[in-house]
Structure formats: structure tokens, C-alpha cells
Amino acid sequence: MLEKKPERAAEIEVLSKVQGALKRPATVKAARGLSHFGEHAIGWFAAGLVGAAVDRKRRKDWLVAAAGVVGAHGASIAVKRVVRRPRPQDPSVEVLVGTPSRLSFPSSHATSTTAAAVLYSGLTGRNLVPALVPPMLASRLVLGVHYPTDVLAGAALGGVVGGLLRRKIRKKG
């Protein structure tokens, strides 16, 4: 049995409770789908390319936003490599999906999803954040691959990157 680090014990407890409350076959299937969609920001990048193809008047803005999503993802990877926090590993937490690395902080899925939600909200005129961000954040916990602070930090990073780039797109237009 692995020894729990005191600073992570509360997060492991929260993570274990989230899994206990939400881990059902349909929820895990949906969480895995979100995980695959968000892997390396590919799904969100593709959504931006679709926006560029459909909204020809703002094609450049959609392409800039899609690139911003990839940039936010890259920023999260850079932070991960500096912080080097390992993913949760505790008998009370079941890991339900594979990950490309063993590094946990911040969640790149949370980062790119939040950046996409902020940027694409500005282009669609609809607030996409409440519909897109909470499910992705919850999915990372259900799958047992992130601590709660990982997803919160990822969402904050994505919000900052998305917000800064959204302002630049708005000023230009």
C-alpha cells in the first residue's frame, strides 16, 4: 500500500468520493469519450476548423482561436514538465483510462477545453463555458487521472489563455 502524502490525502478522499458517486458504466463511457475527444486538444482544434469552414466571414478569427486552443494545451504541457506532479495513485482510486504521461498538474484536458469554450463563445455569441467545462473537469476525476486541483488549475490556465486571446480577436474586429 502506498503511503498517502498529507498534502494530497484530502484530494485523494475527494477523488475517491467523486468516483464512488459518479462511476457508473454510462458515466465512464461518456468520460472516456470526452477523454479521447480532448486528447492533445484534437477535438477542440477540429471544432475550430469546422467553425472556420462554416463561418467564412470570420475564418481567420476561427483559425486564430483554434491555434489558441493548441497554444493553451502547449502551455499546460510546459507547466506539467516544470511542476512534475505525478498522477493520483492510491488503492481507493481506480484509473479508468490510459494517459500519455504520468504527469498530472495541470490537467491539459481542462486547459484546452476551457480555452476552447472561452474562445468559441466569443465567436458563436453563446456562453459555451457552462456546457463544456464542468463535464470535462468531472470526467478527469471520474476516470481517476487527476486530482481536483489539477482540473481547477487547468481550467484557470485555459481561461486566462482563452480570455487574453479572445480580447485580441475582439479588438481586431
Q: How does pLDDT run across 95-111, given as a tens digit for each residue?
A: 999 998 999 999 999 99
As a whole-number percent, the residues of the chain with pLDDT over 70 amount to 95
Can you say whether residue 87 is alpha, beta or left, with left for phi > 0 and alpha for psi between -120 and 50 degrees?
A: beta
What pLDDT is attached to residue 1? Answer: 43
**Residue 127 confidence (pLDDT):** 97
Q: Mapping DSSP to helix (H, G, I), strand (E, B) and coil, where does residue 86 land? A: strand
> What average pLDDT does the structure give for the chain?
93
Mean pLDDT of the 129-141 span: 97
Q: Residues 170, 122: contact at Cβ < 8 Å?
A: yes
Tell me what pLDDT residue 2 has.
46
Delineate the domains of the chain, giving CATH numbers in brackets.
9-172 (1.10.606.20)
Question: What's the rounded Cα separation, in Å, for the pair 8 and 89?
Answer: 10
Q: How far apart are CA 136 and CA 143, in angstroms?
A: 11
Mean pLDDT over residues 139-151, rounded?
96
- pLDDT band per the 50, 70, 90 thresholds, residue 169: confident
Question: 172 pLDDT band (50/70/90 cuts)?
Answer: low
- Segment 44-64 shows an average pLDDT of 97
114 pLDDT exceeds 80? Answer: yes
CA distance 143 to 131: 19
pLDDT over 90, % of the chain: 88
pTM for the whole structure: 0.92
CB atoms within 10 A of CB 152: 15
Question: Can you spell out the DSSP letters for 112-161?
Answer: HHHHHHHHHHHHHTS--HHHHHHHHHHHHHHTT-S-HHHHHHHHHHHHHH
